[in-house]
Amino acid sequence: MKNLLIASIVLANASSAFTQGTVIFNLRMSGTSHVYAPHTPDLGQVGQGSNDGVPSGTTDWSGWTAIGANGLTGQYGAQSTFISILGGPAGAAESSLIPGALGTTLGGGTATTFRTGVAAGANANATATFSNIAPDAGVANFEVVAWDNFSGQYSTWSLATAAWQVGLIALGRSGLFSLHQIGGSVNTAPPRFPTSTSTDTVAMQSFGLCFDCIPEPSVATLAALGTGTLSLLCRQRRRSKRPAL
Interval 34-82: pLDDT, tens: 999 999 988 999 999 999 988 889 999 999 999 999 999 999 999 999 9
How does residue 207 score in pLDDT terms, banded at 50, 70 and 90?
A: very high
Residue 175 lies in a domain: yes
Q: Does 226 score more than 60 pLDDT?
A: no
pLDDT digits (tens, 9 = 90+) for 20-34: 999 999 999 988 999
What is the mean predicted confidence (pLDDT) over 158-165? Answer: 97
**Is 180 a domain residue?**
yes
pLDDT per residue as tens digits for the range 117-126: 999 999 999 9
Tell me the C-alpha to C-alpha distance, in Å, between residue 101 and each of 37, 86, 96, 139: 25, 9, 16, 19
Q: What pLDDT is stored for residue 203 in this prediction? A: 74
**Neighbouring C-beta atoms of residue 137, cutoff 10 Å:** 18
Q: State residue 202's pLDDT score.
A: 64
Question: Is residue 29 domain-resident?
Answer: yes
Q: What is the mean pLDDT of residues 85-98?
A: 96
Residue 107: partners with Cβ closer than 8 Å, 6 or more residues away: 82, 84, 99, 155, 156, 157
Burial 87-104 (b: 16+ CB within 10 A, else e): bbbeebeeeebbbbbbeb
**pLDDT at residue 216, as a whole number:** 52
Domain count, the chain: 1
End-to-end CA, the chain: 73
Residue 232 lies in a domain: no
In a domain, 224, yes or no: no
- Residue 22 counted as domain residue: yes
pTM: predicted TM-score of the whole model, two decimal places: 0.80
In a domain, 199, yes or no: yes
Instruction: Tell me whether residue 62 is in a domain.
Output: yes
Domain with 28, as residue range(s), is 17-216
Q: Residue 98 pLDDT more than 50?
A: yes
